[in-house]
Structure 1
Amino acid sequence: MTPNSLARRLIDRFQHGLPLCAEPYQAMAQALGCCEAQVLDCLQHLQVAGTLSRVGPVFEHTRAGASTLAALAVPEDRLHQVAARVSQYPEVNHNYAREHRYNLWFVLTGPNRAHLDNILQELEHDTGLMPLDLPMLTAYRIDLGFALETTP
């Protein structure tokens, strides 16, 4: 199995439904017919190449506590500095640049709304920028995935 073939099969099979067990990478390898080291090497290669940003769960926000989408209007010359500051919080599970006045967007998840408010206040204090706070009012489950392998 070539590294490219393994990457495609890995992404196809595990875009959804990562194994919930003590050794998930071993379970993934078993399902793909390879060894755990190959899975880990493949994931590392995808991350280094910029193809994969993270492997991990996405929680239903109402079960995890509280969640909000936030944005900052960051001067271009400070974008990397402010993004690095935002990413220091373990509560941030997405952080990305956009071409817009509000050019840095991130998702915060925490135990309760007060916790999120504290983080937003800290970020405002530390950066001098006022976060745009956009809590979800209605949930829409998209569950998006893309097939990479063709099936007959």
Structure 2
Amino acid sequence: MELTHLEKRLLNDFQRDLPLSQRPYADMAEQLGVSEQEVIDTLERLRERGVVSRVGAVFRPHSVGVSTLAAMAVPEAELERVAEAITAYPHVNHNYEREHEYNLWFVVTAKDESELCGVLEDMERSTGLSVLALPLLEDYHIDLGFDLQWT
């Protein structure tokens, strides 16, 4: 997949330290020498192409609302369908496949424990599969950003 210079800069330069302001895309645009609308349109195109799934802040667990890591054991033939159903929940900020009996993993966030339990129960009802909730016991910070090398 060919990426433009602007796409590469957006993907590399804003993995962390996204501007915390009323108009973060305008701040990004100023740093990149383009218009705010160009930043917004480019990020939308990257999302539509599946290059990014989300742009936004990541908060320390339980500092705003509640969350849990969750996993499901999904039959291989159903994995794509179930992953799409889980991704459709606005409470899910990412999910991924793992090579394990529990092969679909995701993080669920909610405003409080009651809502979180309701979302997990709804996921079980809608998919017909059990959800294993793995709540955070100890907090570790892992920086997932890295400099992208373009060849």
Q: Does TM, normalized by the shorter one, top 0.5?
A: yes
Counterparts of 1:43 and 1:90 in 2: how far apart (Å)? 19
Unaligned stretches of 5+ residues in structure 2:
none
Q: Would the aligned equivalents of 1:65 and 1:111 in 2 still touch at CA under 8 Å? A: yes
Taking the TM superposition and a 5 Å limit, the aligned residue runs for 1:20-35 are 20-35=20-35
Q: Secondary structure at the match of 2:62?
A: helix
Q: Would the aligned equivalents of 1:86 and 1:92 in 2 still touch at CA under 8 Å? A: yes
Matched residue type, 1:83: A
Counterparts of 2:114 and 2:86 in 1: how far apart (Å)? 18
Q: Which residue of 2 aligns with 1:107?
A: 107
Q: Which residue of 2 aligns with 1:11?
A: 11
Matched, 1:144 2:144: yes
Q: Which residue of 2 aligns with 1:127?
A: 127
Q: Which residue of 1 aligns with 2:84?
A: 84
Counterparts of 2:85 and 2:51 in 1: how far apart (Å)? 23
Q: Secondary structure at the match of 1:133?
A: strand
Counterparts of 2:123 and 2:46 in 1: how far apart (Å)? 31
Q: Would the aligned equivalents of 1:9 and 1:149 in 2 still touch at CA under 8 Å? A: no
Alpha-carbon displacement from aligned partner over 1:74-105 (angstroms, at most 9, x marks no partner) = 11222222222222321111122223221111
Task: Give the direction of change, closer, same or farther, for the CA distance of 1:12–1:127 in structure 2 (3 Å limit).
Answer: closer
Alpha-carbon displacement from aligned partner over 1:31-82 (angstroms, at most 9, x marks no partner) = 1111223323332333344322211111122111211000111112222222
Counterparts of 1:79 and 1:111 in 2: how far apart (Å)? 28
Unaligned stretches of 5+ residues in structure 1:
none
Fraction of identical pairs, as percent: 49
What displacement does 1:149 show?
6.6
Q: Secondary structure at the match of 1:71?
A: strand
Aligned length: 148
Counterparts of 1:75 and 1:63 in 2: how far apart (Å)? 35
Report the structure, 1 or 2, having the larger helix content.
Answer: 1
Instruction: Kindly report the root-mean-square deviation, in angstroms, between the aligned alpha carbons of the 2 structures.
Output: 2.1
Q: Secondary structure at the match of 1:105?
A: strand
Counterparts of 1:102 and 1:149 in 2: how far apart (Å)? 33
Moved more, 132-141 or 14-23: 14-23
4+ long deviations beyond 3 Å: none
